[in-house]
DNA sequence: AAAAAACGTTGATATTTATCATCATCTTCC
DNA sequence: GGAAGATGATGATAAATATCAACGTTTTTT
């Protein structure tokens, strides 16, 4: 209990995992992220606008950010935490589509854009702090060039990651694909258990376990 | 021979497949596409700018638009034609990542953005007319809101398609995945041969052939 | 018109992966 | 502290898919 309390008072820039950011700190982190990644930094008016447009949300571990059948009302920028996006097939088996960590947008973009019910679930794997935006505020979002630029860049990276994974699933062995994730997204292996990674790679957890033990022997 | 000649003189709006668009018609089609899909249409100045920014290119069937090892210098909007993007593995086997038809952007966005050598090839499956843009002209590109909006939308659709495919590859049977492509992108099945579709779906051509014949029997 | 290449199908077999079951260890929660 | 759940490993078997080979048909090239 003492530990949990202490965690709340960890300084913002610390390496130690803090459970909770104050809302003010969430905005600061977001704005600083935008300014370091965009070609032109935000002006004062834009900073004010961002604080109006984005609503902070805390999603506790295991809680849903989006459930199958709902329309995805929010896209959320993850300031701190980890989430997964998955679908559930006829037999109740979960298939992980995406993993999200800090500085990623979480949400089902198709559902969000088209206002159609999502076929995916998104839940928090760790306690997660996000800044969320609704569809209705997109016009204001689009009025901030640096935000648009950042968003495009993140979308592209995200898209790349999936493209690579897709390509890899055809032309590379499972061992090579696992190694690729380990190299490119090492935080995934540290923050998600092996059976989640297996699902992300599109194989049974037993198969990944075996491939890993084979690889170690070599 | 007479038929081929005739095809060149088909009116622009015709349903009949025309081999070649004049450059003027390429721009007109592009601008009309933007205007019908963006919330605010282009003004005269923007139209002039577009004609400056984009360079028309014709890629003949089987010719490369991008070769492995090159930096992807252009992103190309396909006005007419069909292309495929693929990688080649150690054994010389081709793995199709993406198929492009009219109104898609063709190019390796990672290579284009990061100026790194591409690991993919893009070639024309049919004679293709494109409007291409270089990295250097992106600033001007970004100054046209309707173009940005269109581009974002296309990226998203593209990304959706791949996400869906990726998800499907884990939770759906090959028969279901094929049916999905047939429903969502029927033009792919008409314009690309079956072994290309098989590669796109990530299976051997023999496997797709068998699954199809099974499905017909039902 | 003939030759070559591309395409699609089918069969036999090998390889990969999924599935089901069991067990040991570790963590979480009461 | 102890029960329940989560996690990861391993074995036996079934299912899906790849691979290699052969063949007929269609399309393209010369």
How confident is the model at residue A2, as a pLDDT?
A: 28
Residue A131: strand pairing partners: A56, A77
Of B95, B109, B170, the CB nearest to A167: B95
Verify that A109 and A193 share a domain, yes or no: no
Q: Taking residues B53-59, what's their average pLDDT?
A: 95
**Residue B205 CB closer than 7 angstroms to strand C?**
yes
Helix (H, G, I), strand (E, B) or coil at B201: helix
Residues of chain A with pLDDT > 90, as a percent, come to 56
**pLDDT bracket for residue B125 (50, 70, 90):** very high
Looking across all nucleic acid strands, the nucleotide with the smallest C1' to CA distance from residue B173 is D16
How confident is the model at residue B20, as a pLDDT?
A: 54
Verify that B49 and B149 share a domain, yes or no: yes
Verify that B180 and B116 share a domain, yes or no: no
Q: Taking residues B114-121, what's their average pLDDT?
A: 90
* Model-level ipTM above the cut of 0.90: no
How close A156 gets to chain B, by Cα (Å)?
8
Verify that B108 and B21 share a domain, yes or no: yes
Residue B166 placed within a domain: no
Write the DSSP symbol of residue A17: P
CA distances from B67 to A49, B33, B70 (A): 44, 29, 6
User: For position B45, which CATH number holds?
Assistant: 2.60.120.10
**pLDDT bracket for residue B19 (50, 70, 90):** very low
Q: What is the pLDDT of residues A76-98, one digit of tens each?
A: 999 999 999 999 987 889 999 99
How confident is the model at residue A117, as a pLDDT?
A: 94
Q: What order do you get walking across the sheet with A128-134 strand by strand? A: A55-59, A128-134, A74-80, A105-106
**Residue A193 CB closer than 7 angstroms to strand D?**
yes
How confident is the model at residue B113, as a pLDDT?
A: 82
How confident is the model at residue A217, as a pLDDT?
A: 61
**pLDDT bracket for residue B10 (50, 70, 90):** very low
Q: Taking residues A8-17, what's their average pLDDT?
A: 35
Verify that B91 and B182 share a domain, yes or no: no
**Residue A211 CB closer than 7 angstroms to strand C?**
yes
Q: Residue B70 belongs to what domain range?
A: 2-153
Residue B92 placed within a domain: yes
How confident is the model at residue A191, as a pLDDT?
A: 96
How confident is the model at residue B195, as a pLDDT?
A: 97
How confident is the model at residue B152, as a pLDDT?
A: 77
Verify that A149 and A139 share a domain, yes or no: yes
Residue B83 placed within a domain: yes
Verify that A83 and A188 share a domain, yes or no: no
How confident is the model at residue B150, as a pLDDT?
A: 87
B158 touches chain A (CB under 8 A): yes
Distance CA A170, CA A131 (A): 36
Verify that B109 and B192 share a domain, yes or no: no
How confident is the model at residue A7, as a pLDDT?
A: 32
Residue B162 placed within a domain: no
**pLDDT bracket for residue A15 (50, 70, 90):** very low
A169 touches chain B (CB under 8 A): yes
Chain mean pLDDT for chain A: 84
Residue B165 placed within a domain: no
The secondary structure of B40-70 as a DSSP string is S---HHHHHHHHHH-EEEEE-TT-EEE-TTS
Verify that A161 and A177 share a domain, yes or no: no
CA distances from B131 to A213, B28, B45, B51, B166 (A): 50, 11, 18, 9, 29
Residues of chain B with pLDDT > 90, as a percent, come to 60
Distance CA A106, CA A99 (A): 9
Q: What is the pLDDT of residues B152-192, one digit of tens each?
A: 788 777 766 776 777 777 788 899 999 999 998 999 999 99
Contacting residues of A for B160, CB less than 8 Å apart: 109-110
A204 touches chain B (CB under 8 A): no
Contacting residues of A for B113, CB less than 8 Å apart: 153, 156
How confident is the model at residue A148, as a pLDDT?
A: 82
Asked whether residue A20 carries a pLDDT value surpassing 70, the answer given is: no
The total number of structural domains in chain B stands at 2
Contact present, A97 and A38 (Cβ < 8 Å): no
Contacting residues of A for B87, CB less than 8 Å apart: 167, 171
- ∠ Cα B115 B119 B121 (to 5°): 105
Q: What is the pLDDT of residues A55-81, one digit of tens each?
A: 999 999 999 999 999 999 999 999 999
Verify that A158 and A177 share a domain, yes or no: no
Highest mean pLDDT range out of A132-146, A160-174, B72-86? B72-86
Verify that B119 and B213 share a domain, yes or no: no
Residue B167 placed within a domain: no
How confident is the model at residue B90, as a pLDDT?
A: 80
Verify that A42 and A90 share a domain, yes or no: yes
Q: What is the pLDDT of residues A38-62, one digit of tens each?
A: 888 999 999 999 999 999 999 999 9
Residue B177 placed within a domain: yes
Q: What is the pLDDT of residues A180-214, one digit of tens each?
A: 899 889 999 999 999 999 999 999 999 999 999 98
């Amino acid at each position: 209990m003492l530990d949990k309390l202490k965690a709340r008072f960890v300084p913002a820039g610390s390496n130690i995992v803090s459970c909770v950011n104050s809302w003010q700190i969430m905005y600061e982190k977001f704005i600083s992220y935008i300014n370091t990644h965009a070609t032109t930094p935000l002006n004062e008016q834009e900073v004010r606008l961002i604080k109006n447009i984005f609503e902070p949300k805390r999603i506790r571990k295991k809680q849903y950010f989006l459930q199958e059948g709902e329309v995805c009302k929010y896209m959320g920028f993850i300031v701190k935490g980890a989430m997964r996006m998955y679908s559930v097939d006829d037999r109740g088996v979960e298939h992980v589509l995406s993993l999200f960590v800090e500085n990623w947008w979480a949400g089902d973009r198709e559902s969000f854009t088209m206002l159609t019910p999502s076929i995916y679930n998104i839940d928090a794997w760790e306690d997660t702090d996000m800044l969320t935006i609704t569809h209705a505020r997109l016009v204001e979002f689009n009025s901030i060039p640096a935000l648009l630029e950042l968003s495009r860049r993140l979308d592209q990276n995200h898209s790349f990651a999936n493209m690579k994974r897709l390509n890899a699933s055809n032309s590379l062995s499972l061992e090579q694909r696992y190694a690729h994730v380990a190299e490119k997204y090492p935080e995934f292996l540290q923050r998600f258990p092996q059976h989640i990674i297996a699902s992300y790679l599109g194989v049974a957890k037993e198969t990944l376990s075996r491939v890993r033990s084979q690889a170690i022997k070599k």
